[in-house]
Amino acid sequence: KQEVTQIPAALSVPEGENLVLNCSFTDSAIYNLQWFRQDPGKGLTSLLLIQSSQREQTSGRLNASLDKSSGRSTLYIAASQPGDSATYLCASLYNFNKFYFGSGTKLNVKP
């Protein structure tokens, strides 16, 4: 069974810092890897999706990388803002229609 681990479980940083969230997965035979954001009491919002053939994806201040051989992905957030405070989840698509999720990193960006 695919297992996805996220480190750290929680992170608190001052506004303006650049930060990195980590995600590791046990089986490298994935179709893609996706990063989501979850705000309290709300569903998940897709941030970035990296296909297995890609190394990274960028959207605004966010950059996600994928290293299948080592079973790792990172989400880089540049110049963090208080509005970035949320829980960030990574999920690997290991089989058709089936995402395996990590437990998330809860980020708090202090003004």
Partner 1 sequence: ETGVTQTPRHLVMGMTNKKSLKCEQHLGHNAMYWYKQSAKKPLELMFVYSLEERVENNSVPSRFSPECPNSSHLFLHLHTLQPEDSALYLCASSQEGVGATDTQYFGPGTRLTVL
Gap between the Cα atoms of 23 and 40, Å rounded: 21
Nearer to partner 1, 40 or 83 (CB): 40
- Restricted to residues 76-105, the positions that interact with partner 1 (CB under 8 A) are 89, 91, 93, 96-104
Q: 3-class SS at 43?
A: coil
Q: Choose which of 12, 26, 45, 59 interacts with partner 1 (CB under 8 A).
A: 45
Gap between the Cα atoms of 71 and 30, Å rounded: 9
Site residues (vs partner 1, CB under 8 A): 4, 31-32, 34, 36, 41-46, 49, 51, 89, 91, 93, 96-104
